[in-house]
Amino acid sequence: MKVSELIEKLGLTAFTGAVGVEREIAGGYTSDLLSDVMGNAKEGNVWITLQNHMNVIAIASLKELACIILVKGITPAPEIIEKAIAEEIPVLGSNENTFNLNGKIYALLN
Amino acid sequence: MVKLKYDIEGGNFNRAGNASSQVKRVLKQLNIDQRLIKKIVVALYEAEVNIVAHAYEGTMEINISPEKIDMILQDKGPGISNVEQAMQEGFSTASQKVREMGFGAGMGLPNIKKNTDLMEIETSVGVGTTLRMTKYLNNVE
Ligand SMILES: Nc1ncnc2c1ncn2[C@@H]1O[C@H](COP(=O)(O)OP(=O)(O)OP(=O)(O)O)[C@@H](O)[C@H]1O
Ligand SMILES: [Mg+2]
Instruction: Give the tens place of pLDDT for each residue, A23-41.
Output: 999 999 999 999 999 999 9
Contact B134, B70 (CB under 8 A): yes
Contact B20, A62 (CB under 8 A): yes
At residue B20, does pLDDT exceed 90? yes
User: Is B105 within 8 Å of A35 when comparing Cβ atoms?
Assistant: yes
Q: Half-sphere exposure of residue A31, counting CA atoms within 13 Å on the CB side?
A: 18
Largest CA distance in chain B: 42
Distance CA B20, CA B97 (A): 23
Strand A13-14 and strand A91-93: pairing? antiparallel
Query: What's chain B's average pLDDT?
Result: 97
pLDDT attached to residue A8: 98
Hey, what amino acid is at A51? Q
Nearest-CA neighbor of B91 among B74, B110, B118, B119? B110
Distance CA B129, CA B122 (A): 6
Least Cα separation, residue A99 to chain B (angstroms): 19
Task: Tell me the pLDDT band of B140, cut-offs 50, 70 and 90.
Answer: confident
Nearest-CA neighbor of B20 among B35, B5, B41, B3? B41
- Structural domain contains residue B141: no
- Structural domain contains residue B104: yes
Contact A20, A89 (CB under 8 A): yes
Ligand 1 atom closest to the Cα of residue B106 is: 19
- The pocket around ligand 1, CB under 6 angstroms, is made up of A 34-35; B 46, 50-51, 53-55, 75, 77-80, 86, 91-94, 103-109, 129
Contact B70, B5 (CB under 8 A): no
Q: Nearest ligand to the C-alpha of residue B110? A: 1
At residue B18, does pLDDT exceed 90? yes
At residue B138, does pLDDT exceed 90? no
Q: Half-sphere exposure of residue B54, counting CA atoms within 13 Å on the CB side?
A: 29
Q: What percent of chain A has pLDDT over 70?
A: 100
Q: What's the average model confidence in pLDDT over A53-68?
A: 97
pLDDT attached to residue B141: 65
CATH fold of A3-109, please? Answer: 3.40.1390
Nearest-CA neighbor of B61 among B49, B48, B50, B52? B48
At residue B110, does pLDDT exceed 70? yes
At residue B58, does pLDDT exceed 90? yes
Q: What's the average model confidence in pLDDT over A84-101?
A: 98
Q: Which domain holds residue B33?
A: 2-136
At residue A92, does pLDDT exceed 90? yes
Q: What percent of chain B has pLDDT over 90?
A: 96
- Which domain CATH number covers B116? 3.30.565.10
CA distances from B65 to B30, B36, B69, B134 (A): 11, 14, 6, 11
B17 touches chain A (CB under 8 A): yes
At residue A79, does pLDDT exceed 90? yes
Task: Tell me the pLDDT band of B139, cut-offs 50, 70 and 90.
Answer: confident
Report how many domains make up chain B: 1
